[in-house]
Every structure is written in C-alpha cells, then in structure tokens.
Amino acid sequence: MIVIEDKVFCGTETECALPLYTADDAVVVRNCVFQDLVAPGTNNGCCAVQVGSNASYVRDVTIENCVFRKIKGNVDHELHAILAYGENITIRNNVLEDIGEDERDQEGIYLKGSRSLISGNRIHNGAQIAICVKGLDSRDNIVANNVVTGESMWGIRTNGRVVVANNIVRDSTYTGISCEGLQDSSEAVVTGNYVEAQVIGVRLYHLTRHVESGNLISAKMPVKVD
C-alpha cells in the first residue's frame, strides 16, 4: 500500500501537485493540505491530486481528510482539486474552498470510474461543477452526505448508474443535482437531498429508470425529467 499523509503542497505553479497516474498497489492520501496552487503560464491546466489517467485506471484509492484551498487555472483549460480514474475509489471528509472558476472543464471533484464513493466532503465555490461523476464506465457510484455551497453552475452532476443521497446543495447558479443517461447503465436514485438552485433543482435526463423521493427543493423548476 502507498500512503501519503501529513504533507503540505502550497504556493506552487504546477499542472499537478500530486500526480499518481499509475499505481499497482492501493493508495491512501490523507491529512494533506493543497493550497495556493496555480497553473504555470497561460496555456496549462492545474490539478491538486490526480490518480489514474485515461490510459490507466487504478483500483482501491482513498483520498480523505485533506484540505484543498485556492486552486486557480486558466480559462479554457482543465482544472480540478481531485481528478480520479478507476474503480473502488473513496473520496471522503475533505474540505474544498475556492477552486477554479465557473468555466468549462473546471471541477472540484471529478471522478471517472465505477463502484466508488464520494461522501462527507464540504465544498464552497467548487468551480463550474462542485462534484462531477462522469465517464464511459460510470456505474454503481454513490454520492452521499456532502455539503456543497457557493456559485457553481452545477452542484452535483453525474452520468451512468448512481445513487445521490442526503446531500446539501445551495446557491447553484443553474442546476443543483443533474443525473444523466449513459448507454445501458442509466439508472439514478436521488433521495433525501436538500437543494437550492436558481433554475433547476433536480434534473433527470435520458435515464432508463429513476427514483426521485424525499428531496426538499427550492428552484424555479424543482424537478425536470427529459
């Protein structure tokens, strides 16, 4: 097992402060601080932690009890506090504040994987999408018990087969929670969430099956199914 803990990554120009693009063993990142990270130059993105890649999915990764604060990039370039590709990934009990901007391809947490958990995170101003769970192999993921505040366009955005439960999402400028279809794994359970959004509270898009229940929603369009 690879364990990275009690480290501080601060005040650095970097495309990725902690790159773990390949891993043959389980990885744990805990109790670390990532702060005041900026993209180098004007033509690069920025990421605090990346595990796996499009070419290399990883398994059995935990990122927990870390702080991500003031991570900035460039318009039209990707930016993420956490970017993870793989299976059995747990992202829990982290604090994210002032991540990127409300720009395309900028997310607080971006998971491209399956059978994974995003839980107990507190995110304020988490870029365009505070929590994004999307990808061609996105299935059997759980997004639960997170608190998302600040002016993200989407609070939580997912595709594939997913459960989104017991989250608090406030101040989204467009949609609080969006669950979108993906080929044959297009099922979503959205339950027990508190959502405040300017336009759409919960959107269920091109799903073969969905359950929406027990959500408390304040938005111009509380629930949109299309």
pLDDT per position as a tens digit, 151-190: 899 999 999 999 999 999 999 999 999 999 876 668 999 9
CA dist 36 and 99 (Å) reads 10
Average pLDDT over residues 121-135: 94
- Integer-rounded Cα Rg, in Å, for the chain is 16
Q: Quote the percentage of the chain above a pLDDT of 70.
A: 95
User: Are 29 and 66 within 8 A, CB to CB?
Assistant: yes
Q: What is the pLDDT of residue 103?
A: 67
Beta bridge partners of 147: 122, 168
Residue-wise pLDDT tens digits, 84-125: 999 999 999 999 999 987 666 789 999 999 999 999 999 999
| CATH architecture designation of domain 2-225 | 3 Solenoid (2.160)
Summarize pLDDT for 27-65 with one digit per residue, the tens.
999 999 999 998 886 667 789 999 988 778 889 999 999
CB-count exposure of residue 137 (10 Å: 0-12, 13-18, 19+): middle
pLDDT computed for residue 185 by the predictor: 63
pLDDT of residue 43: 67
Among candidates 76, 150, 151, 78, which has minimal Cα distance to 112?
78
